[in-house]
Amino acid sequence: MRDTIQTVLTCAVLFLLGASTAFSQPKNVIFILADDHRYDYMGFHPNSPDFLKTPAMDRMAEEGAHLANAFVSTSLCSPSRASILTGQYPFRHGVVDNNNMMPEGIPLFSEALQKAGYQTGYFGKWHIGHDHDNPKPGFDRWVSFPGQGVYFNPTLNIDGQRQQYEGYITDLMTDYTLEWLDSIDTSQPFFAYLSHKAVHAEFDPAKRHEGMYADARIVKPQSMKNIDRNYEGKPNWVYEQRYSWHGVEHMYHGRDDHPQSLDEIIVRYSESLMAVDESIERVLNFLEEKGLADETLVIYMGDNGFMLGEHGLIDKRQAYEESMRVPMLAWSPGFIEPGRVIEENVLNIDITPTILDLAGGSMPQNHIIDGISFVPLLAGESIDNWREEFVYQYFWENSFPHTPTTYAIRDDRYKYIYYHGVWDKNELYDLKTDPFEMVNLVDMPEHRDRVNRMRNRMFDIFEENGATDVKFRRPSPGQQDERKRY
């Protein structure tokens, strides 16, 4: 009996202690970014493939928060990464494709963190502008590589010095991150940006993971298999892209350095994700071992989604859910109630204001921030007038001409997609009744008013922000004739 009473008292004390520290705001931040990781490829997610195992991501969701409706403003590496670092839509910061560098003078949140007294480190893929890896403003420690980089034995730029190193890129970036964290004064606030190459094509898993999903049963999406129903109301370009560089019938044009079938792509994509999951686990374990977990927020997300056969497509760029939607998890044991699911629409442009909110930092007065801090959402608070809609833009690229310039607006139920130029049809989807976007409602008489409202609202938002200028750029050197390959 006495043991029972003691147990109850102990639990009560622990509960009260937990309650008193549950809203202790963390001072440190580790931001982990994956490349091309789609929103539902996490083991705990209800739409995840049955075979996929991601114990560290599952742990973050179980012990922290899953931001279940996270999106990017452009589903492409460079624009999305620039939005993360600036808090701005691509039409504002100017990085509208994968070839543009960050315009001179655009402030990064890392600079604001330094001014707020933070120790800062950047580790991994930069890829804002194609081949640039020089140290960027606001980072005390810099470890990166040019362009997409390579999975094995990369050449790294460490604080301005380049040298080739042996090893697997995901492991190396995690090693450098943890070595830096172990070397700094952790009594002072710190920020680490761990930016993985994975899971970008050409999907080279670590040797220890190669073949682990070789026998997996791959289930193709309905919008790929049910051709008649899916393409009946879609623009012709979607069907035509099925037979192009970014389509399931002619994927990557059979290049020897790419997987040769959709099944192989899905297997190698999933296997390449395993080292990212292990990287997350190493970061969480490090924080616990060093006694830093309760005062650190870890955020994990993808820079954009990835089509794996939906509508007969692979890759990204489109405004379909699998392309524009990303995974996002947050873990901070002293701050976030375990198992929290956040349903509000959160965007990549929200990362800058969220991190600066925690740090007490601020961007220069003339720097417009389009995003909103979601710190209160992590703390379990509600925010009045949180966004119920957001806009999306993708600008046509010379290198990959099959995807048109795309504007979209999405609210909690409907998505309207508008194609700029001579394209045959726009799109409207009811995401509640048609979550896989197979029935285009744009020509339905009963939705005519909704189409007009959403289109007008979308262009109002763009015009109010000076975002309606069509971006047309000279091809990069060597790209002038590249379209012949596609």
Q: Which tens digit of pLDDT belongs to each residue from 215-271?
A: 999 999 999 998 888 999 999 999 999 998 899 998 887 666 666 789 999 999 999
Distance CA 414, CA 317 (A): 19
* 419 Cβ contact list (under 8 Å, min separation 6): 235, 237, 404, 405, 406, 407, 425, 426
Mean pLDDT for 345-362 is 97
Per-residue model confidence (pLDDT) at position 129:
77
> Is the whole model's pTM more than 0.85, yes or no?
yes
Contact status, residue 305 vs residue 322, Cβ threshold 8 Å: yes
Answer whether residue 13 shows pLDDT above 60. no
* 130 Cβ contact list (under 8 Å, min separation 6): 98, 99, 146, 147, 476
Contact status, residue 393 vs residue 91, Cβ threshold 8 Å: yes
Banded pLDDT at 5 (limits 50, 70, 90): very low
Q: Which of 58-67, 126-135, 138-147, 407-416 has the least mean pLDDT? A: 126-135
Distance CA 119, CA 186 (A): 9
Mean pLDDT for 325-330 is 98
Distance CA 263, CA 274 (A): 17
pLDDT exceeding 90 applies to what percent of the chain? 80
Per-residue model confidence (pLDDT) at position 102:
86
Q: How many CA atoms lie within 13 A of 275 on its CB side?
A: 30
List Cα–Cα distances, 324 to 177, 206, 276, in angstroms: 28, 27, 20
Answer whether residue 12 shows pLDDT above 50. no
Distance CA 63, CA 340 (A): 8
Answer whether residue 484 shows pLDDT above 80. no
Distance CA 271, CA 54 (A): 11
Q: Which tens digit of pLDDT belongs to each residue from 145-157?
A: 999 999 999 999 9
Where in the chain are the domains? 25-388
Banded pLDDT at 8 (limits 50, 70, 90): very low
Range 25-388 classified under CATH 3.40.720.10: yes
Distance CA 424, CA 426 (A): 7
Answer whether residue 480 shows pLDDT above 50. no
Per-residue model confidence (pLDDT) at position 23:
59
Q: Which residues of 323-352 are buried (b: 16+ CB within 10 A; e: fewer)?
A: bbbbbbbbbbbbbbeeebebebbbbbbbbb
Q: Where are the alpha helices (DSSP H) in 37-134?
A: 55-63, 77-86, 90-93, 109-115
Q: Which tens digit of pLDDT belongs to each residue from 69-93?
A: 999 999 999 999 999 999 999 999 9
The angle formed by the CA atoms of residues 245, 35 and 102, to the nearest 5 degrees, is 95
Answer whether residue 19 shows pLDDT above 80. no
Element (H, E) at 173: helix 169-183
Chain CA centroid to CA 32, Å:
10
Banded pLDDT at 101 (limits 50, 70, 90): confident
Q: Which tens digit of pLDDT belongs to each residue from 202-213?
A: 899 999 999 999
Residue positions counted in the chain: 486
Q: Which tens digit of pLDDT belongs to each residue from 402-459?
A: 899 999 999 999 999 999 876 679 999 999 999 999 999 999 999 999 999 999 999 9
Mean pLDDT (the chain) is: 91
Q: Which tens digit of pLDDT belongs to each residue from 184-193?
A: 999 999 999 9
Q: Which tens digit of pLDDT belongs to each residue from 391-407?
A: 999 998 888 888 999 99
Per-residue model confidence (pLDDT) at position 471:
58
